[in-house]
Amino acid sequence: MEALLIAIKARILELAPEFLQFPLGHLLSITPVISVFAGIFALTTWIERKGLGRIQNRLGPNRVGPVGILQPVADGLKMIFKEDVVPRSADKIVHFLAPILLVIPTMLAFSVIPYGNRLVPIDLDAGILFFFAIGGSAELIVFMAGWSSRNKYAMLGAMRAIAQMISYEVPLILSSIVVIMMAGSLSLVDIVAVQTGGFWNWHVATPWGFVGFLLFLTAALAESNRSPFDIPEAESEIIAGHMTEYSGFKYALFFLAEYLGLFAMTGLAITLFLGGFHAPFPFLNWVPAPLWFFGKFAILVALFIWIRGTLPRLRMDQLMGLAWKFMIPMSLITFAAGATWHYAGKGLLAWILCTPMLLGSYVYLGTALTKGQKVSKRVYRFAD
């Protein structure tokens, strides 16, 4: 399948005149990425609403089209035709730029992820570095949106977003550094190549990889402002955070950027820990590699929806406590476990050394984090 796609691209490029080959080649790489992930975004909003509905013992959207499948179309049409309201005292230029700029880094993040054998838009030597550098600019843009709205809720939301994103970027990058260290390369293509073979060669099948994967997923949820870390938006507290003063298609762009950010993080998690586009068993190699990538992608997105349907939103201090007291020490210990794994020969001895090290620190840090917290049934003074 990848070979076919690459052959089609080469054939089209042959037909084009020479001065057009460079832009056309990149256009042919960019267009599928944007259209596929925008399509997945539309589908995900529907699946998410259906899934959350089922989790909450209701049906979810079922009015537009069969089983509500056309709901994203209806939502999109509504968003386009809605009035675009800009507050009179807003900083017009920044307010206008923020939603557009926010989509750019999230789109760029897809450019370094390998979707199949040789199927990567740009094979950068420092792909993962590019990914995080681009992802880091999203914080500034979120703050642009919050600041330019001239609304206290937008401002609060933007400040919360900055605090959260900066805190969680540390464990996110630390947990992926272990993978970089073990693979010996910053290129995502090389990191995937290290994990060839069956699922036992994936990084998630090692003690440090498993812990790193969980840390990465948690930090990815926080980075993309997903529940249970959605305090920058926190509907019940600050309306919609930095998106409060946005309406119509600009709001849709924020929404799109948020989901695309999550998808990019999911793609990176698959690449780093779940063997990228490789099949779980060598005899399944005949299945086209992008299908494996998108299969893993679907499972992780379903997991994110499941988590969103389960966990309540964290409080600001709990959020910060989790990042600084638990996740950052834990990712540093994962770092040490990775080194132990490497020098203990990646065999049984390495398992025996690494597992108690990680498990012990998990229990210790976990109890330290929850120490002094009394979990008891809530007593209402007036509501009973």
Per-residue contact string for residues 62-101; x = within reach of other proteins by CB under 8 A = x---------------------------------------
10 Å CB burial of residue 188 (0-12, 13-18, 19+) is buried
Nearer to other proteins, 51 or 114 (CB): 51
Residues from 169 through 188 that contact other proteins (CB under 8 A): none
Q: Does 132 bind other proteins (CB under 8 A)?
A: no
In three-state secondary structure terms, 337 is helix
Q: Does 54 bind other proteins (CB under 8 A)?
A: yes
Q: Which stretch binds other proteins (CB under 8 A): 7-15, 161-169, 191-199, 367-375?
A: 367-375
Least separation, in Å, of the C-beta of 283 and other proteins?
Answer: 31
Q: Which stretch binds other proteins (CB under 8 A): 15-23, 106-114, 247-255, 366-374?
A: 366-374
In three-state secondary structure terms, 9 is helix
Least separation, in Å, of the C-beta of 228 and other proteins?
Answer: 9
Among 4, 19, 56, 383, binds other proteins (CB under 8 A): 56
Q: Does 325 bind other proteins (CB under 8 A)?
A: no
Work out the number of other CB atoms within 10 angstroms of the CB of residue 193. Answer: 15
Q: Distance between CA 64 and CA 83 in Å, rounded?
A: 23
Does the N-terminal peptide bond of residue 228 adopt cis geometry, omega within 30 degrees of 0?
Answer: yes
Q: Does 376 bind other proteins (CB under 8 A)?
A: no
Among 310, 345, 346, 349, binds other proteins (CB under 8 A): 310
Task: Provide the residue type at 277 as one letter.
Answer: F
Q: Which stretch binds other proteins (CB under 8 A): 21-29, 110-118, 287-295, 361-369?
A: 361-369
The partner residues of 119 in beta bridges, in order of sequence, read 116
Sequence-ordered list of residues with C-beta below 8 angstroms from that of 382, at least 6 positions apart, any chain: none
Helices 207-223 and 348-370, axial angle in degrees (round to 10): 40
Among 326, 350, 357, 358, binds other proteins (CB under 8 A): 326
Nearer to other proteins, 249 or 362 (CB): 362
Least separation, in Å, of the C-beta of 312 and other proteins?
Answer: 9
The partner residues of 336 in beta bridges, in order of sequence, read none
Tell me the HSE value of 131 on the side-chain side, using a 13 A CA sphere.
Answer: 32
Among 13, 43, 55, 353, binds other proteins (CB under 8 A): 55
In three-state secondary structure terms, 246 is coil
Query: Which two tokens mark 33?
Result: 């990425």
Q: Does 57 bind other proteins (CB under 8 A)?
A: yes
Among 58, 88, 377, 381, binds other proteins (CB under 8 A): 58
Sign of CA dihedral 314, 317, 320, 322: negative
Total residues contacting other proteins by CB under 8 A comes to 21
Among 76, 197, 198, 309, binds other proteins (CB under 8 A): 309
Nearer to other proteins, 230 or 245 (CB): 230
Q: Does 23 bind other proteins (CB under 8 A)?
A: no
Nearer to other proteins, 257 or 330 (CB): 330
Nearer to other proteins, 248 or 329 (CB): 329
Q: What is the 3-state secondary structure (H, E, C) of 189-244?
A: HHHHHHCCCCHHHCHHHCHHHHHHHHHHHHHHHHHCCCCCCCCCCCHHHHCCHHHC
Least separation, in Å, of the C-beta of 295 and other proteins?
Answer: 20
Following CA atoms 297, 303, 308, 310 in sequence, which dihedral angle do they give, to the nearest 10 degrees? 180
Q: Does 298 bind other proteins (CB under 8 A)?
A: no
Q: Distance between CA 88 and CA 56 in Å, rounded?
A: 40
First-to-last CA distance in the chain?
A: 62
CB 169 within 8 A of CB 223: yes
Question: Can you give the binding site for other proteins, defined by CB under 8 A?
Answer: 51, 54-59, 62, 306-307, 309-311, 326, 362-363, 365-367, 369-370
